[in-house]
Amino acid sequence: MEKKIRNLIDIRDLSTKEIDDLIEVANDIINHKEKYSHKCDGKILATLFFEPSTRTRLSFESAMLRLGGKVLGFSEASSSSTAKGETLADTVCVVSGYADIIAMRHPKEGAPMVAASKSMVPIINAGDGGHNHPTQTLTDLLTIKREKKSFNNLTIGLCGDLKFGRTIHSLIAAMSRYDNIKFVLISPDELKLPDYIINEVLEKNNISYVETDNMMEYMNELDILYMTRVQKERFFNEEDYLRLKDYYILDKNKLINAKKDLCIMHPLPRVNEISPEVDNDERAKYFEQAYNGVYIRMALILKLLEVK
């Protein structure tokens, strides 16, 4: 029987137990880096990025290099044969003969599914349009576990662009599995969480949530405040973007009544939504979050390549 290839397209492709195991491995890597430095000797990761990235692409590449493997790929569609009109299906079909695993980012929602149907090796969705970003969510989960010790009993504020924010969509899908989770959905009317997520994830699983456009309304109740950027690249007209881009700016004053152990997160990059003065607040965890991305991606590569 042909062996089934394991991909990561959506965070729900992983069971709760598998997420726990990945987090355990990532923590072990953090504590014993040398133990893992040859686990992927002879393996190649391809990074196919049709959209810009700093953290996701470089942390994937760092992850594979730290495991002893090698990397190849491209960081923009214009430097690949996509610019000559090659389809994604053909590109992936070819590259899957050059590498053992592929991490890809694409502006079109669902593109990683197309890739997976043509690939001979595992496909990892490194962000598809305004849809999903499952490895950012693994990074977020590792950060939450390290800061809060548990995924249960948390009030989570999600602030900014909840409509196009793929990290938000994947994080809600992941956190909705745990007990006593309450979401505070903070956004302007135009950037509210899509109905399909409200209906198919929150309502369907009886998850408690409130919607507000006031970031201060529930600030004193939050255990986690997850800020997001208003994404210029997802807007159809510049005027709307300019009107909404600075709708929320977190600064020191806004944190006066927040919990002492609030965990402030952001997938980054940020533009203006977190003032740099917050960086020195011990509750600011967004740079740790970015560092954690390497270790959870190392754990994921090991899992998908079935390296013990």
Contact in structure between 11 and 134 (CB atoms under 8 Å): yes
Of the two residues 202 and 230, which places its CB atom closer to ligand CP in the complex?
230
Check binding of 136 to ligand CP (CB under 6 A). Answer: yes
Contact in structure between 149 and 142 (CB atoms under 8 Å): no
Check binding of 152 to ligand CP (CB under 6 A). Answer: no
Q: Are strands 263-265 and 224-227 parallel, antiparallel or unpaired?
A: parallel
Contact in structure between 186 and 160 (CB atoms under 8 Å): yes
Q: How far is the CB of 79 from ligand CP (least distance, A)?
A: 17
Distance in angstroms (rounded) separating the CA atoms of residues 104 and 73: 10
Q: How far is the CB of 299 from ligand CP (least distance, A)?
A: 18
Of the two residues 164 and 209, which places its CB atom closer to ligand CP in the complex?
164
Check binding of 75 to ligand CP (CB under 6 A). Answer: no
Check binding of 131 to ligand CP (CB under 6 A). Answer: no
Distance in angstroms (rounded) separating the CA atoms of residues 94 and 238: 38
Check binding of 170 to ligand CP (CB under 6 A). Answer: no
Of the two residues 136 and 176, which places its CB atom closer to ligand CP in the complex?
136
For 60, the token pair is 């994937």
Check binding of 143 to ligand CP (CB under 6 A). Answer: no
Q: How far is the CB of 173 from ligand CP (least distance, A)?
A: 16
Check binding of 96 to ligand CP (CB under 6 A). Answer: no
Of the two residues 202 and 274, which places its CB atom closer to ligand CP in the complex?
274
Of the two residues 125 and 155, which places its CB atom closer to ligand CP in the complex?
125
Q: How far is the CB of 135 from ligand CP (least distance, A)?
A: 8
Distance in angstroms (rounded) separating the CA atoms of residues 54 and 59: 8
220: how many CB neighbours lie within 10 A of its CB?
Answer: 11
Check binding of 266 to ligand CP (CB under 6 A). Answer: no
Contact in structure between 174 and 144 (CB atoms under 8 Å): no
The binder of ligand CP chosen from 87, 208, 269, 287 (CB under 6 A): 269
Q: How far is the CB of 165 from ligand CP (least distance, A)?
A: 11
Piece in contact with ligand CP (CB under 6 A), picked from 187-195, 239-247, 261-269, 276-284: 261-269
The binder of ligand CP chosen from 268, 298, 302, 304 (CB under 6 A): 268
Q: How far is the CB of 84 from ligand CP (least distance, A)?
A: 26
For residue 251, what are the CA distances in angstroms to 46, 99, 105, 254? 39, 45, 32, 6
SS3 105: strand
Check binding of 129 to ligand CP (CB under 6 A). Answer: no
Check binding of 157 to ligand CP (CB under 6 A). Answer: no
Check binding of 228 to ligand CP (CB under 6 A). Answer: no
Binders of ligand CP among 19-58, rule CB under 6 A?
A: 53-56
Q: Where are the alpha helices (DSSP H) in the chain?
A: 16-31, 55-66, 88-95, 111-118, 134-148, 166-175, 195-197, 238-244, 286-304
Check binding of 187 to ligand CP (CB under 6 A). Answer: no
Distance in angstroms (rounded) separating the CA atoms of residues 180 and 151: 9
For residue 277, what are the CA distances in angstroms to 249, 254, 255, 290? 11, 12, 11, 19
Check binding of 287 to ligand CP (CB under 6 A). Answer: no
Chain residues in the site for ligand CP (CB under 6 A): 53-56, 127, 136, 267-269
